[in-house]
Structure 1
Amino acid sequence: MQDILGSLYPWTKSLHVIAVIAWMAGLFYLPRLYVHHVENKARPDSVALFGMMEYKLLRFIMNPSMIATWTFGLLLVATPGVVDWSQVWPWTKAAAVLGMTWFHMWCAVHRKKLAEGRDEATGRTYRLMNEVPTLLMVIIVVSVIARPF
């Protein structure tokens, strides 16, 4: 198994990066859709359109890309010699990825609340929350590339 993981490493890493890009695109965009959704509550046609866009983004792009990110990431972790768990950076990255997953779930909960018309968050809340994936992305990239810890 270790030989297979080692020989597939470049492909696994490539697919991981592709999945991360797709996931991050959704994590950046979905809260912006929520801003427009809550700021156009008086326009039923707009609310319906935003609701459909939110559903499709989460269901068909974000969920599959999150699963692919985790799958290929775990395969990378299982590849011998890729991660030295005695260092701090993999733990920092893992914590940030868990934070990113929490944010994904937070977005999913709010999508459902918006669809049911019972979300009380404001456009300001969604604008602020839109910064969460950026902060986590910076932590992840610096942890993996610069390895300052």
Structure 2
Amino acid sequence: MTGWLGDAYLWVKAAHVVFMVFWVAGLFMLPRYLVHHQEGLGDPAEGPRWVKREALLRRMILTPAMGAVWLLGLALAAHIGLFDGQTGLGWLHAKLLLVVALSGYHGWAVGYSRKLAAGRPTLAPKTLRLLNEVPALAVALIVVLAVVKPF
């Protein structure tokens, strides 16, 4: 299956990067929404506003962008031979591991937003603020792996 995208490879790669930017932008926003949502739980009018904002962000940006990133990324991986046993793709294995972890973080953030919607915060505000930095660290590592291909 190596090389199966042919001349479409660069278009698929460009689309992958575009949807990655959308997804990561959403992952930068949602945790900050969660902080504000948790801080606003004492105000009965604020909670429903944050629930609506978070749901829109998930429905309009986060979930569709993540799906596109995965679909396009797997197509790119197949193109360069990941599923054919191509050698020299250690960087891609590491990148995929980080993307799986980032997808898990996405799932955690969505789950935590649902806890907040139910009025059940479980994290200290400082911990929640620290967890906001996870996407930035993951994306920095993913970009280095994809561009430098260190192994």
Query: Structure 1 length normalisation: TM-score?
Result: 0.91
Q: How do 1:17-32 residues align onto structure 2 when only pairs under 5 Å count?
A: 17-32=17-32
Distance in 2, matches of 1:114 and 1:81, equals 43
Shift of 1:123: 2.2
Give the Cα separation in 2 of the matches to 1:64 and 1:5. Answer: 22
Contact 1:89 1:143 in 2 (8 A): yes
CA offsets 1:68-108 (integer angstroms, 9 cap, x no match): 00000011111146895434211111111011101000011
Aligned mates of 1:138, 1:4 — CA distance in 2: 29
Inter-CA distance 92–59: structure 2 relative to 1 (3 Å threshold): same
1:85/1:124 CA distance change after superposition, 3 Å: farther
Give the letter for the 1:146 counterpart.
Answer: V
CA contact (8 A) 1:6 1:80 kept: no
* Same amino acid, percent of matched pairs: 38
Deviating runs (4+, > 6 A) in structure 1?
A: none
- Are the equivalent residues in 1 in contact too, given 2:54–2:113 (CA < 8 A)? yes
Instruction: Report the AA paired with residue 88 of structure 1.
Output: G
Residue 131 of structure 2 corresponds to which residue in structure 1? 129
Note if 1:44 corresponds to 2:44: yes
CA distance in 2, matches of 1:63, 1:32: 17
**Partner of 1:89 in structure 2?**
91
Partner of 1:111: 113
State the match for 1:13 in structure 2: 13
SS in 1 for 2:107: helix
Instruction: Could you tell me which runs of 5 or more consecutive residues in structure 1 were left unpaired when the two chains were aligned.
Output: none
Residue correspondences, number: 149
Question: For the residues of structure 2 that align with 1:70 and 1:86, how far apart are their CA atoms?
Answer: 21
**1:64 — aligned with what?**
64
Deviation of 1:31 after TM superposition, in Å, equals 0.5
Q: Is the 8 A contact 1:2 1:79 kept in 2?
A: yes
Query: C-alpha displacement at 1:131, in angstroms?
Result: 0.6
TM-score of the pair, normalised by structure 2: 0.90
C-alpha offsets along residues 98-141 of structure 1, whole Å, 9 cap, x if unaligned? 11101000011111111111222232222111111111111101
The answer as to whether partners of 1:38 and 1:122 remain within 8 angstroms in 2 is no
2:140 aligned to which of 138, 141, 144: 138
